[in-house]
Structure 1
Amino acid sequence: MEKRKFGIHDEMLSIVGLGGISIKNTGQNKSDRLVRYAFDNGVNYFDVAPGYGDAQELMGRSLEGIRNDVFLACKTSNRRSKEADQDLENSLKLLKTNHFDLYQLHGMKSEKDFELVSSKGGALETLIKAKKQGKVKYIGFSCHSIKVAHMLLDNFEFDSILFPVNWNLILNAGFGPEVLKKADETETAVLALKSMADTLWKDSNIRDYEKCWYKPLNDKKMIDLAVKFTLSNNVVSFLPPGDESLFKMGLKAAQNFKKISNEELNFLKNKSIHSDPIGSSEEIFI
């Protein structure tokens, strides 16, 4: 498994990670098996959040014995420090650890989100304080808005951004290149979301993959190309969709990764003309 440097830091992350939503509601035995499968196949980047149901508790038990060998990322969706403090402490307890390698502001999408986290008593205070206390090693944010990503990168020093890097979003909608450029300029590590996204569900209440908020690619050729596209950008690692079978397909694509060729890129450009992305040039629709 190829590993890449986490921004300017010495940490080396596998180019694919396991998202906690993949183990949500699966039970402890299945969680243990998938976490071990990922680890045994070279994955050392694990991501989870309070919003993923019982995933924190499951992952905490599944990581016992290997916690010190992995890069564990968690998040808070709360925008004020009081509630974010509670999130952090509860997550540390459930994940059976005394620190997170990365702690992130979750799902930053609006100017209101920015105002709430960055003002006095905002959740950003929790991240900065926790970093000083050694409860978190690095701080970051996940984001689905070009404008908000720029606001955060322009005004604060983050170690990473968790951000959609998807062939169709970039080639069709033009979503993302300027944020990737800004991250490079600010030496902020890019962790990728939505790499294996295809399009929006026709009916969000009828989904072939229950834990996927968008319709994912499920064709091996397209998954391989989508992963190649993402990892050929300035990206440290990507998180496959929240489904065990799709995670394994993403893992296989990462294991076989080679930089995308001009021929493959042209194929995706032509395909994007006839494909509907999951967002516009400014934001993700979900």
Structure 2
Amino acid sequence: MEKRRLGKTGHYSSIVTFGGAALIGVSQREADEAIKLAIEHGVNHFDVAPTYGDSEILLRPWLKEYRDDIFLACKTQKRTKEEAAAELKRSMKRLGVDYIDLYQFHAIDEMKDLDVAFGSGGALEAMIEARDEGLIKFIGITSHKPPTIIEALKRFDLDTVLFPLNFILRRHRCPENDYEPILKLAKDRDLGTIAMKAFAKGPWPTKERRYRTWYEPFGDQRMIDLCLWFALHEGVTTVATPGDVRLIPKVIDAAEKYRELSSEEVQYLIDSASNLKPLFPRT
């Protein structure tokens, strides 16, 4: 599987990141099957979080054997220094590791949360101390709102950014969901870029849900191919898998046959989204 440099971290991440949200509600056996498949096919970037059920515990057995081969990313939704420091230690214990490669502010969407996390006594202080102590190597942010990420980058020199990107958002671009300013700033600052919701078709149209994701994902192989290839065409380092283990094999398949999209294919995809409802901004 192709690997790309994750900005100034210097790490070469697989173009697919194993998103730990896919492990919510699954058994150890189901998790093992998905993780084994990913590792065997060259996925080396894994992203978990305390809010992803038992994802940290489910990944732990694999870290015992493959820790040196895995770029381990984790997150915290805690916004104060004390709470974030405690949650980091809890995550490390659950993962069974003595360091985490990338620790990220999780889902900082609102400016008020950014103010707390980046202010005096905020989570950022805990992350800086953890980095100084060798508990984490790099600091990143995840958000569904690009303007919040841009503001965060004005306040601190982060290493990575994780944000929504897909051809539907590109077609229905507005200030609240426009990811292009993030990509430009990331290029200027040599930041690692991680796309999420790359396979999102939109909000579920009915109460019937075929997948565990909170949004409706594309499920057929052809569209998964195009979704991944579009995200990579936009220039991100790596693309997170959707939150259902059943889709991971299809994403891996798309990555292994990855090719550059032509300008005509890109435009066709964008135009095809005219009647689709974007996932963001949420209404």
TM range (shorter): over 0.9
CA offset digits 1:132-189 (Å, max 9, x no partner): 1110011101011122111111111111001111111012224211121112122211
RMSD (Å) for aligned C-alpha atoms: 1.3
Secondary structure at 2:4's aligned position in 1? strand
Q: Which residue of 2 aligns with 1:199?
A: 202
- For 2:161 and 2:112, how far apart are their aligned partners in 1? 19
Task: Give the counterpart letter for 1:143 in structure 2.
Answer: S
Task: Give the counterpart letter for 2:240 in structure 1.
Answer: L
Shift of 1:94: 0.4
CA contact (8 A) 2:166 2:231 kept: yes
- For 2:136 and 2:8, how far apart are their aligned partners in 1? 17
CA contact (8 A) 2:142 2:162 kept: yes
- For 2:37 and 2:169, how far apart are their aligned partners in 1? 30
Q: Which residue of 1 aligns with 2:170?
A: 170
Shift of 1:224: 1.0
Q: How many residues align?
A: 280
Which range is displaced more, 84-93 or 9-18? Answer: 9-18
CA contact (8 A) 1:35 1:63 kept: no
- For 2:140 and 2:10, how far apart are their aligned partners in 1? 16
Q: Which residue of 2 aligns with 1:186?
A: 189
Task: Give the counterpart letter for 2:215 in structure 1.
Answer: Y
Q: Which residue of 2 aligns with 1:262?
A: 263
Q: Which residue of 2 aligns with 1:130?
A: 130
5 Å-filtered alignment, 1:9-20, equals: 9-20=9-20
Give me the TM-score of the superposition, normalised by structure 2.
0.95
- For 2:69 and 2:158, how far apart are their aligned partners in 1? 23
Secondary structure at 1:97's aligned position in 2? coil
Secondary structure at 2:24's aligned position in 1? coil
Q: Which residue of 1 aligns with 2:210?
A: 208
Q: Which runs of 5+ in 1 are unaligned?
A: none
CA contact (8 A) 1:199 1:276 kept: yes
Q: Which residue of 1 aligns with 2:87?
A: 87
Q: Which residue of 1 aligns with 2:59?
A: 59
- For 1:230 and 1:206, how far apart are their aligned partners in 2? 28
Task: Give the counterpart letter for 2:278 in structure 1.
Answer: P
Secondary structure at 2:51's aligned position in 1? coil
Secondary structure at 1:52's aligned position in 2? coil
Q: Which residue of 1 aligns with 2:159?
A: 159
Q: Which residue of 2 aligns with 1:118?
A: 118
Instruction: Determine what percentage of the aligned residue pairs are the same residue.
Output: 35
- For 1:8 and 1:54, how far apart are their aligned partners in 2? 30
Shift of 1:267: 1.4
Q: Which residue of 1 aligns with 2:278?
A: 277
CA offset digits 1:65-119 (Å, max 9, x no partner): 1111110000000111111111100000000100001000000100111111011
- For 2:238 and 2:80, how far apart are their aligned partners in 1? 29
Q: Which runs of 5+ in 2 are unaligned?
A: none
Question: Does 1:251 pair with 2:273?
Answer: no
- For 2:3 and 2:247, how far apart are their aligned partners in 1? 21
Q: Which residue of 2 aligns with 1:241?
A: 242
Q: Which residue of 2 aligns with 1:227?
A: 228
- For 1:87 and 1:49, how far apart are their aligned partners in 2? 10
Secondary structure at 1:245's aligned position in 2? helix
Secondary structure at 1:140's aligned position in 2? strand
